[in-house]
C-alpha cells in the first residue's frame, strides 16, 4: 500500500540507527540534564519563523542527536516529506494526498495534484471567504430583519471545532470589536442550549461545519439552532442566518442554506489539519482577511523551514525526533504542553487531537503490527494555574513526563508598567519551572537551605525531566500559524519514523456506528440487543429504566 514516490515500509527497529540508539539509551541513563547543561548546548537552540525552540534541556547528548538524525534518514523521513509536499497519496489507507501545506501556499505558487491546480482552488475559496467575511464585518451582510450580525456561532466537532475555538481564544486581541464567536460541538443538549440562550437570533450568524453535512453531533446541534432561529425569525430567515462549510451541496440546500453561501474544502485536508481552510471561516470573520492572511503566512514560513532546513537544524524535525527518543528510548509515555499564555489556554486541547488522532496507531502503513511504542499521550493546561494543580506530580511523581513550555515574550494586552510587571512575573514562573523540572534540587542543596534532616527527602526535586522551551515574540496570527505548523510537522516526523499513517483515523469510526445501534434501541425502548455485549445490555436497561423518571 505504499504511495508512489514515497519510501517503502520497513521495521524501524531493524535499522542500524535504532539498534545503536537502543544501546546508547542504556548508557544515557546515567546522564542528567544538570550535567549536560555544563557543556555548550547552543546547537540545540534553533530558530524558525521568528520562534525560538530551545531543546537544550532535553535528556539527550550529541551522539543521541546524531543517531536520531541517522534514524530519520534510514526510515525515509526526507523522502516522505518530499512526497507529502509534492501531493503524493501518502495517506495510503484512504488513497489520498495529505496536503494541508497547500492551504497556505501563496497565490503565485503552483501545485498540481491528480490533474488539478490546487493552489488556484485554495485561493478561489479564500477569496470567497474574504468577500463574505468583509460583508459581515462591515455590516453589508445583515440578518433577515435588517439587524447587523454581532454573534457568530460555529457548530462543528473535532477538527471543525477545536482549531477555530483555539484560534479565537488565542487571537482575542485581534478580534473586531462588536463581534463575538461561540462554539458548539458536544451533542449534550446543555452545550447548544447554553450558547443560544443569551443570543439574539436576529443578530446571529450560524456556521455549520461538516464536510459531508451528515455528522451526527453537528447536524443534531444545527437542527436545534435552526428551530431556535425559525421560532423567532421564521423560515425565510434561514438563508440570512446560516452558512455552511461543506461539500454536500444537496444536503446544504435541503437544510435551507443557499449553496452560494457554502464554502468547500478537499479530501486531502484532514479535519485536524483544516483550521486554515474554510473551517477557519469564523476565524476570518473575527480577525479579518488581513489577519487570516498573516495566520497563513506564519504556517507557510514554518512549512518552508521544515521543507528545506537540514534535519539537525530543523526545528520541527528535531521536535519530532526528540519525541521519538523520549517515547521509545527513554520510555516516557506522556508529554505535558504548558503554555504560559492565557491566550493559548485551548492549545493543549487542540494538540491532543493533532497528536493522538494522528499517531495513536498500532499498525504500520502496510498493515503489519508495530511492536514498539507509538504516539504519546499529550495533555496540559496553561501556567500558572497548572502549577497549583498537577505540577506536584511533574516534579516529584514516580513517572517522568516530557514537558513543552510555551512562552510569549510580550504580552498581548495593552502595555502599561503594571502589565509589563505582571508579564515579567508570568515569564519568571515559566523559566523557573523549566529550570526546576530539568535541573531539580539535590538533597545536599536542600540541606544547605537549612531544612531539618527529616524533611530533606520530602523536598528533593529529582529534576531530569526533558523540557523543550518554545518562545514566541508575541501571540499573533503569524506566530500562531507558525507554532501550529511546527507541531504538525513534528507529528509527521514521528509518524514517518514509526512507519505509520498519520493521516487516517479509523479508530473513531466503530464507536460511532455502535452508538447508532444503541440509539435505535433507546428509541424502541429495547435493551435485549444481541449485537451488544452483556455489560452494555445491562447499562442500557438501567438507562431505559432511569430515563422514565
In the structure grid, which three cell numbers stand for residue 465, read together? 525531566
CA 145 to each of CA 29, 133, 136, 263: distance values in angstroms, whole numbers, following the listed order: 69, 19, 15, 24
pLDDT of residue 5: 58
Q: Which residues are catalytic?
A: 357, 388, 512
d(CA 159, CA 279): 8
Least confident of 9-18, 24-33, 221-230: 24-33
C-alpha cell at 80: 516522505
Q: How far is the C-alpha of 497 from the C-alpha of 317, rounded, in Å?
A: 11
pLDDT tens, position by position, 371-409: 999 999 999 999 999 999 999 999 999 999 999 999 999
Closest CA to 401 of 342, 469, 318, 332: 332
How many percent of the chain have pLDDT more than 70?
A: 99
Reported as a single tens digit per residue, the pLDDT across 129-170 is 999 999 999 999 999 999 999 999 999 999 999 999 999 999
Residue indicated by cell numbers 424502541: 524
User: What is the model's pLDDT at position 416?
Assistant: 97
Predicted local confidence at residue 1, as pLDDT: 43
Structure confidence at residue 316 (pLDDT): 98
Q: What are φ and ψ of residue 53, in 5° steps?
A: -120, 105
User: Taking a C-beta distance cutoff of 8 angstroms, is the pair 392, 456 a contact?
Assistant: no
Percent of the chain with pLDDT over 90: 96
Mean pLDDT of 522-526: 95
CA distance 215 to 411: 39
pLDDT in tens, 254-308: 999 999 999 999 999 999 999 999 999 999 999 999 999 999 999 999 999 999 9
pLDDT digits (tens, 9 = 90+) for 330-378: 999 999 999 999 999 999 999 999 999 999 999 999 999 999 999 999 9
CB 382 within 8 A of CB 342: yes
Residue 79 pLDDT > 60: yes
Mean pLDDT of the chain: 96
Label the pairing between strands 467-472 and 51-57: antiparallel
Nearest one of 76, 68, 70, 56 to 25, comparing CA atoms:
68
C-alpha grid cell, residue 415: 502595555
Using CA atoms, how far apart are residues 325 and 323, in angstroms rounded to an integer? 5
Cα 446 to Cα 284: distance, rounded to the nearest angstrom: 52
Q: What is the mean pLDDT of residues 41-53?
A: 97
How far is Cα 329 from Cα 23, in angstroms, rounded to an integer? 9
Amino acid at each position: 500500500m505504499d504511495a508512489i514516490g514515497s519510501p517503502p515500509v520497513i521495521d524501524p527497529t531493524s535499522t542500524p540507527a535504532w539498534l545503536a540508539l537502543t544501546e546508547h539509551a542504556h548508557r544515557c541513563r546515567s546522564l542528567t540534564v544538570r550535567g549536560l547543561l555544563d557543556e555548550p548546548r547552543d546547537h540545540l537552540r534553533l530558530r524558525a519563523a521568528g520562534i525560538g525552540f530551545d531543546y537544550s534541556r532535553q535528556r539527550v547528548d550529541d551522539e543521541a542527536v546524531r543517531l536520531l538524525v541517522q534514524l530519520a534518514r534510514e526510515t525515509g523521513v526526507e523522502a516522505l516529506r518530499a512526497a507529502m509536499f509534492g501531493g503524493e497519496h501518502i495517506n495510503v489507507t484512504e488513497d489520498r494526498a495529505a496536503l494541508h501545506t497547500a492551504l497556505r501556499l501563496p497565490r503565485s505558487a503552483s501545485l498540481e495534484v491528480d490533474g488539478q491546480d490546487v493552489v488556484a482552488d485554495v485561493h478561489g475559496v479564500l477569496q470567497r471567504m474574504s468577500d463574505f467575511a468583509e460583508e459581515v464585518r462591515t455590516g453589508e451582510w445583515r440578518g433577515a430583519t435588517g439587524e447587523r450580525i454581532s454573534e457568530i456561532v460555529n457548530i462543528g466537532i473535532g477538527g471543525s471545532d477545536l482549531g477555530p475555538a483555539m484560534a479565537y481564544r488565542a487571537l482575542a486581541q485581534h478580534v473586531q470589536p462588536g463581534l463575538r464567536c461561540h462554539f458548539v460541538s458536544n451533542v449534550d443538549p446543555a452545550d447548544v442550549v447554553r450558547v443560544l440562550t443569551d443570543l439574539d437570533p436576529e443578530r446571529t450568524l450560524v456556521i455549520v461545519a461538516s464536510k459531508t453535512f451528515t455528522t451526527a453531533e453537528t447536524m443534531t446541534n444545527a437542527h436545534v439552532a435552526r428551530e431556535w432561529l425559525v421560532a423567532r425569525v421564521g423560515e425565510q430567515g434561514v438563508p440570512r442566518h446560516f452558512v455552511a462549510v461543506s461539500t454536500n451541496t444537496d444536503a446544504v440546500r435541503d437544510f435551507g442554506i443557499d449553496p452560494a453561501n457554502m464554502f468547500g474544502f478537499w479530501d486531502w485536508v484532514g479535519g485536524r489539519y483544516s483550521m486554515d481552510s474554510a473551517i477557519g471561516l469564523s476565524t476570518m470573520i473575527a480577525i479579518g482577511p488581513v489577519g487570516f492572511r498573516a495566520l497563513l503566512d506564519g504556517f507557510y514560513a514554518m512549512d518552508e523551514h521544515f521543507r528545506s532546513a537540514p534535519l539537525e537544524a530543523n526545528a520541527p524535525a528535531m521536535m519530532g525526533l526528540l519525541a521519538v527518543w523520549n517515547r521509545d528510548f527513554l520510555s516516557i509515555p506522556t508529554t505535558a504542553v504548558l503554555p504560559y499564555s492565557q491566550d493559548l489556554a485551548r492549545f493543549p486541547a487542540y494538540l491532543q487531537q493533532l497528536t493522538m488522532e494522528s499517531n495513536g496507531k498500532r499498525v504500520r502503513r502496510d498493515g503489519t503490527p508495530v511492536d514498539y511504542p507509538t504516539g504519546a499521550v499529550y495533555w496540559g493546561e496553561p501556567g500558572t494555574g497548572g502549577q497549583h494543580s498537577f505540577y506536584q506530580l511533574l516534579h516529584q511523581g514516580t513517572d517522568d513526563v516530557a514537558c513543552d513550555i510555551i512562552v510569549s515574550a510580550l504580552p498581548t494586552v495593552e502595555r502599561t508598567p503594571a502589565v509589563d510587571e505582571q508579564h515579567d512575573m508570568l515569564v519568571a514562573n515559566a523559566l523557573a519551572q523549566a529550570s526546576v523540572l530539568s535541573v531539580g534540587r539535590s538533597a545536599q542543596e536542600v540541606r544547605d537551605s537549612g531544612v531539618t534532616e527529616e524533611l530533606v527527602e520530602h523536598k528533593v526535586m529529582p529534576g531530569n525531566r526533558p523540557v523543550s522551551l518554545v518562545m514566541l515574540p508575541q501571540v499573533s496570527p503569524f506566530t500562531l500559524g507558525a507554532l501550529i505548523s511546527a507541531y504538525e510537522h513534528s507529528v509527521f516526523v514521528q509518524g514517518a519514523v514509526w512507519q505509520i499513517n498519520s493521516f487516517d483515523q479509523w479508530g473513531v469510526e466503530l464507536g460511532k456506528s455502535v452508538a447508532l445501534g444503541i440509539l435505535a434501541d433507546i428509541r424502541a425502548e429495547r435493551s435485549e440487543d444481541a449485537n451488544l455485549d452483556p455489560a452494555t445490555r445491562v447499562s442500557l436497561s438501567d438507562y431505559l429504566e432511569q430515563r422514565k423518571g
